[in-house]
Amino acid sequence: MATPELFGGLMIVGTGSSATWIYADDAAKARRGRSQAAASLTKPLVAAEIARMVARGDVALDQPISAALPDVEMDDKVFGRVTIRRLLQHTAGFDQGVSGEPLLQVSGAERCPAAARAVLARPLDFAPGARVVYSNAGYCLLGEVIKRHDPGLTPGLRQALGARFGAAGGWHSPLDQLYEALSKTLPVPDLPPEAKLPDGSYYGFAWRRWPEGADMPPWTHFGRLPGTFSVALTDGRSHLLVAHFRGDPLDYNETGKAFSRKAWRCLADWRGDADHSAAPGRG
């Protein structure tokens, strides 16, 4: 499963608590018990907590962020259309290609809350619901919703929300703890999209859903911080792969897709599946 620009792979693959470690080399094996930055693999954990809050009635998917955070100053005429659903699915109206990456425009120990405040103080970059643009700041806002409404957080998620990159990428733990936390987000609930990416994929509860025939796992998420790259792949039901690499891919999305295709084919062969693409996610 070698992929250009990535090295030192450390992976866990399995179903529920039955999991297998895979190491690229002895150096990767030595990292097994070390805490690793999950980067954006934090987002499915945040989205799963939001899903639990929705199920309890604490918030609603189509609730505006202005109602979910009533004590935070914002223009309700603008942000009344920015809903929990749109924040989850990266369709809320934030585009770092237009106005910059808020996480890099603020400073301090807790950048995510500062980024959330920053985007609420400026105009939206596009009409909410019109298109999909991946947004760290949107998840920073979801982190603020969780902190306001949900006092019963797990220690891992509480620590992540208080970290530098918060709900956008603050999870830090050994890989087996990340695998365990992500396995608890399964089965992945779908969230029908208002808009899709040009390749037909879309985001549900943080996980990216790929269309059948895309030669991709049904659900993926990638994470990147300087010097590290992380990947999570699942059939949406029970099978899960979580991997951590060293490296700085120039195009992390294409690198992640290339690894995902190779890894899913290998897993299909290992499990004896007849179809190596999206078949495990059908039904």
Q: Which of 155, 170, 185 marks a domain boundary?
A: 170
Q: What is the pLDDT of residue 30?
A: 76
- The CATH number that applies at residue 274 is 3.30.450
Considering its fold, how many domains does the chain have in total? 2
Domain residue limits at 4:
1-38+173-283
Half-sphere exposure of 6 (CA within 13 A, CB side): 28
- As a whole number of angstroms, the distance between CA 128 and CA 124 comes to 8
In the chain, which residues have pLDDT < 70?
A: 1-4, 270-283
CB 169 within 8 A of CB 40: yes
Q: Which of 109, 141, 170 marks a domain boundary?
A: 170
Query: Does 84 share its domain with 180?
Result: no
pLDDT tens digits along 67-97: 999 999 999 999 999 999 999 999 999 999 9
Query: Does 165 share its domain with 184?
Result: no
Q: What is the pLDDT of residue 123?
A: 95
Query: Does 46 share its domain with 165?
Result: yes
Note the helical H segments in the chain: 26-30, 42-56, 65-68, 76-79, 84-88, 96-99, 102-105, 111-120, 136-149, 155-161, 166-169, 175-183, 252-271
Give how far Cα 35 sits from Cα of 45, 146, 164, 256, 275, Å. 17, 24, 16, 21, 35
Q: What is the pLDDT of residue 282?
A: 24
- The CATH number that applies at residue 161 is 3.40.710.10
Q: What is the pLDDT of residue 25?
A: 81
Query: Does 59 share its domain with 19?
Result: no
Q: Which of 170, 205, 237 marks a domain boundary?
A: 170
Q: What is the pLDDT of residue 160?
A: 96
Query: Does 5 share its domain with 26?
Result: yes
Query: Does 45 share its domain with 165?
Result: yes
DSSP string, 12-57: EEEETTEEEEEESSHHHHHTTTS-EE-GGGHHHHHHHHHHHHHHHT
